[in-house]
């Protein structure tokens, strides 16, 4: 019945349905801990259908990674374009690039609304030894670096700091530290310091995943 229902959905929608489910399953369980059967159940379709569409778990993971990178790059590009259209305003403290760094940070956190994207990116970044996934992950990471360096004008140190902030965010999510918010003083402090105005979004997502 599930397979029959899925056949009525346009191919593009089916693919996005599977990739969205796979993004969350891979993000939570990792590449080696996730199975195509788990992904199929999360997507509400049959496991053979997943294999028929993507061929292998590796191919599926690569597409999940590319989807995450594409969404991140589109979000960053839109944020940069809006900033430039406004005349590249500076931050309240007068720092040349503080305002765009703030906006990009908010855009990054907003990706949490598509559950699994940031966690699946972190899983991919941890697979540097894999000959296929590792290379795709390196290319994607450097693509983000080049965007903020060339289009925004970050210096190497500024780009490093910006990317380090993003990796800290991913680490806190991977540790499920938002679940400790209000329970542990140190967890509460670092979560508030990291997520700031997007704190409620993070806590809402953490509650959904509990």
Residue 134 pLDDT > 50: yes
If asked whether residues 53 and 21 sit together in one domain, one would say yes
CA angle 104, 142, 13 (to 5 degrees): 70
Q: How far is CA 175 from CA 111, 126, 180, in A?
A: 18, 15, 10
If asked whether residues 11 and 94 sit together in one domain, one would say yes
If asked whether residues 153 and 203 sit together in one domain, one would say no
If asked whether residues 201 and 103 sit together in one domain, one would say no
Average pLDDT (14-27) is: 95
Residue 4 pLDDT > 60: no
Q: For 31, how many CA atoms within 13 A lie in the half-sphere containing its CB?
A: 23
If asked whether residues 87 and 146 sit together in one domain, one would say yes
**Burial of 185 from C-beta contacts in 10 A (0-12 / 13-18 / 19+):** exposed
If asked whether residues 155 and 190 sit together in one domain, one would say no
If asked whether residues 115 and 194 sit together in one domain, one would say no
Average pLDDT (134-161) is: 96
If asked whether residues 116 and 184 sit together in one domain, one would say no
Q: How far apart are CA 63 and CA 61, in angstroms?
A: 5
If asked whether residues 7 and 36 sit together in one domain, one would say yes
Say what the pLDDT of residue 185 is.
Answer: 97
Structural domain for 101, as ranges: 2-174
pTM of the model: 0.88
If asked whether residues 28 and 97 sit together in one domain, one would say yes
Domain count, the chain: 2
Contact 21, 53 (CB under 8 A): no
- Tell me which of 108-117, 129-138, 144-153 is least confident: 108-117
If asked whether residues 33 and 23 sit together in one domain, one would say yes
Q: pLDDT-derived band of residue 205, with 50, 70 and 90 as boundaries?
A: confident
Residue 66 pLDDT > 90: yes
pLDDT digit string (tens) for 71-115? 999 999 999 999 999 998 876 654 568 899 999 999 999 999 888
CATH at residue 120: 1.10.357.10
Average pLDDT, the chain: 91
If asked whether residues 93 and 119 sit together in one domain, one would say yes
% of the chain beyond a pLDDT of 70: 92
Kindly state the helix (H) or strand (E) to which residue 132 belongs, with its residue range.
none
């Amino acid at each position: 019945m599930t397979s029959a229902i899925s056949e009525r959905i346009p191919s593009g929608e089916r693919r996005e349905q599977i990739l969205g489910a796979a993004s969350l399953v891979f993000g939570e369980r990792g590449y080696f801990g996730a199975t195509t059967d788990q992904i199929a159940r999360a997507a509400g379709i049959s496991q053979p259908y997943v294999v028929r569409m993507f061929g292998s778990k590796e191919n599926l993971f690569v597409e999940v990674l590319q989807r995450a990178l594409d969404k991140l790059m589109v979000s960053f590009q839109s944020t940069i374009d809006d900033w430039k259209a406004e005349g590249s305003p500076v931050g309240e403290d007068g720092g040349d690039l503080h305002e765009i760094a703030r906006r990009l940070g908010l855009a990054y956190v907003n990706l949490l609304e598509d559950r699994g994207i940031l966690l699946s990116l972190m899983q991919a970044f941890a697979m540097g030894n894999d000959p296929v996934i590792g290379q795709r992950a390196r290319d994607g990471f450097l693509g983000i670096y080049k965007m903020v360096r060339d289009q925004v004008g970050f210096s190497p140190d500024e780009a490093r700091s910006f990317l380090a902030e993003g990796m800290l965010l991913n680490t806190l999510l991977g540790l499920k530290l938002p679940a400790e918010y209000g329970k542990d003083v140190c967890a509460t402090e670092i979560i508030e310091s990291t997520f700031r105005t997007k704190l409620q979004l993070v806590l809402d997502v953490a509650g959904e995943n509990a």
